[in-house]
Structure 1
Amino acid sequence: MDTSVPSVAERRVHVVPLGYERDRIVEPLRRHGADVAYLFVDAPDRDGARGDVDFDAATAADPADARVDPDGLTGYQRDAWTAVAEFAEVRPVPVALADVYDVLGVTTTVAARHDAGAADGDRLFGNVSTGPRIAAVGVALACMIVGARPYSVEPERHSHDPREEPLTEGVERTVDLPIYPMDAPTTDQVAVLGRLHDRAEGSLSTDKWNLIEWARERGLSFLREAGESRTAKYRALETHVLSPLRERGYVELEDVGRSDTVRLTETGRRVFFAFKHKLDER
């Protein structure tokens, strides 16, 4: 883990799934001077769209005071929560830990909130050892996308029944995970995914010209250099938005008469929720 001293204004912010663990949650935060710890509390049926974070509600040193279900926590999970609150600011966030897109979306939203990766932003870390494997994948992917540091925590000992006691005890060491650059969808692409989602929710079809007119009204960047030619606008939409989204399986095209209907795939819908925080940055 990066242990270099942060600047005066910079904070160390950690995202940590609150799984069947105690020491692997608490000790890395303590040892590496965490300032803020976002605890991802499992909430499979949580309110709100995937990837959403209610930052106003995300504060509580005691599980009993949080807007999550404290009855769903084990005794050692509560203990981990209160132990972290002794030295860091705890921000509990309900997350569907079995949904990789929810975990990914919440993590990238937290990163955006703290300007992680920016010169004057906070330093973001992600613990990939304390939740289910799906949660680990979501946190790791998000860290790679935003340029944060994922880390793995190796236990000293293993327990057996997580219903009675934590899976592990103590911390042997933390291990940096490799970072691979990943291309997140652009703001324009996320905006178009959102448009397709909203139209689909209203049972409305969407063709390319509808997207162009909508994008023009909202000043999306891909049209700024296209000029007034209708052909150039179609080319800009295809080059900068639709072609990349089709290649990734986020949208599909269907020939309907003389126009192409653009449809959002299920993967595209989930990706929209994972990255819709980018629309707040425009």
Structure 2
Amino acid sequence: MDTAVPRVSERRVHVVPLGHEHDRIVEPLRGHGADVVYLLADAPDREAERGAVDFEAAAAGLGDGRVDVDRLTDYQRDAWAEAAEFAAVRALPVALADVYDVLGVTTTVAARHDAGEPDGDRLFANVSTGPRIAAVGVAIACMVVGARPYSVEPEVHRHDVAETPLTAGVAGTVDLPIYPMDAPTTDQVAVLGRLRERADRNVTTDKWNLIQWARERDLSFLREAGESRTAKYRALETHVLSPLRDRGYVELEDVGRSDTVHLTETGRRVFFAFQHKLGER
């Protein structure tokens, strides 16, 4: 794990899935001086949209927030309470089996703390303490926002997680490699959101509709496009639709003299994962 001395104003923020663990949750937080901890508690039936975070409710104490503490084991509640002795703990309900929910929540937390920005907080994420899908979501989020993922090796393995944690003790902490990953731009996320809104209303969307809508909202890709209709179409294609289509987030259908733009299911999920970017506008 990155052990460089933080700036005076910088906080060490950790995102940790609250899985069937105790020591692998608490000890790295204690050992590396966590200031703020976001515990991702499994909520498979949560009604909020993917990636949504209620920060006010998250700040409530054990049993006072949105997390159903009755679903937690005694050792999970103990891990929460112990972490709260030395760090500000924020508990977030997350569908840990949904990679896009985990990804979206983690990137939203990163945005909240300006992680990766010169004056932002330093973000770390534990990929060892939840199910594998949660680990993938957390790891991808770290690649997107430039956070530091870490893995914690147990000293002892146990098996009956209904009675005891899966593991005990900490033998060491291993840094995971960081690979650059291009997140969709704010304009691209905005367009995905527009397509989602229209699709939910069973309304089709063509390129000109997107251009008019983008112009009303002063999206950046149109600012230098000029006044000609052709230039606006070219800007939409170059800066928004082509990248989204290449990644499988949208599809185009020829209808008469225009192209209808369809949001794919992957594109819908990606919107939920990165919708926090719209708050940066």
TM-score by length of 1: 0.99
Whole-angstrom distance in 1 between the partners of 2:131 and 2:55: 24
Write the distance in 1 (CA, Å) between the matches of 2:7 and 2:104. Answer: 27
- Partner residue in 2 for 1:9: 9
* Per-residue Cα deviation, 1:155-204 (whole angstroms, up to 9, x for no partner): 00100111111100000110000000000000000000000000011110
Could you say which residue in structure 1 is the equivalent of 2:121? 122
Q: Which residue of 2 aligns with 1:49?
A: 49
Q: In the alignment, which residue of structure 1 is the partner of 2:86? A: 87
Deviations 1:79-130 (CA, angstroms, capped at 9, x unpaired): 1000100000000000000000000000000000000011110000000000
Whether 2:29 is the aligned partner of 1:32: answer no
Distance in 2, matches of 1:109 and 1:47, equals 17
- Give distance in 2, aligned partners of 1:242 and 1:66: 40
Residue correspondence of structure 1 range 179-198 to structure 2 within 5 A: 179-198=178-197
Question: Which whole-Å deviations, capped at 9, do the CAs of 1:203-245 have from their partners, x for residues lacking one?
Answer: 1000000000000110001111110111111011000000000
Residue equivalent to 1:23: 23
Q: In the alignment, what sits opposite 1:199?
A: 198
CA distance in 2, matches of 1:247, 1:69: 40
Q: What is the aligned partner in structure 2 of residue 274 from structure 1?
A: 273
| Residues 1:141 and 2:140 are matched in the alignment | yes
Q: Is the 8 A contact 1:46 1:95 kept in 2?
A: yes
Residue pair 1:61, 1:82 contacting (<8 A) in 2 also: no
- Matches for 1:49-68 after TM superposition, within 5 Å: 49-62=49-62, 64-68=63-67
Q: Deviations over 1:240-270 (max 9, x none)?
A: 0000000000000011111110000000000
Secondary structure at the residue paired with 2:56? coil
Computed over aligned residues only, the root mean square deviation of the Cα atoms, in angstroms, reads 0.7
Match of 2:130 in 1: 131
Which residue of the partner structure matches residue 217 of structure 1? 216
CA distance in structure 2 between the aligned counterparts of 1:163 and 1:105, rounded to whole angstroms: 29
> Which residue is equivalent to 1:73?
72
CA distance in 1, matches of 2:274, 2:93: 18
Instruction: For residue 65 of structure 1, report the CA deviation from its aligned partner.
Output: 2.3
List aligned pairs for 1:230-241, cutoff 5 A.
230-241=229-240
Does the aligned pair in 2 maintain the 1:15–1:39 contact within 8 Å?
Answer: yes
CA–CA distance in structure 2, aligned partners of residues 184 and 194 of structure 1: 15
- Residue type matched to 1:18 in 2? L
* Equivalent in the alignment of 1:174: 173
Contact 1:61–1:89 (CA under 8 A) maintained in structure 2: no
In 1, Cα distance between equivalents of 2:60 and 2:206: 47
Q: Distance in 2 between matches of 1:197 and 1:125?
A: 32
Q: Could you tell me how far apart the structure 1 residues matched to 2:111 and 2:240 are?
A: 22
Write the distance in 2 (CA, Å) between the matches of 1:61 and 1:214. 43
Secondary structure of the corresponding residue to residue 159 of structure 2: coil
Matched, 1:113 2:121: no
Question: Structure 2 unaligned runs (5+)?
Answer: none
**In structure 2, how many angstroms separate the alpha carbons of the residues matched to 1:60 and 1:5?**
29
**Separation in 2 of the partners of 1:201 and 1:7?**
46
Give secondary structure in 2 for the equivalent of 1:57. helix
CA contact (8 A) 1:26 1:83 kept: yes
Letter in 1 for 2:93: P
The alignment covers a number of residue pairs equal to: 281
Residue 57 of structure 2 aligns to a residue whose secondary structure is coil
Alpha-carbon contact 1:153-1:171 (below 8 Å) kept: yes
Equivalent in the alignment of 2:261: 262
Determine what percentage of the aligned residue pairs are the same residue.
81
User: How far, CA to CA, are the matches of 1:160 and 1:195 in structure 2?
Assistant: 47
Aligned mates of 2:59, 2:223 — CA distance in 1: 42
Distance 1:54 1:234 in 2: 38
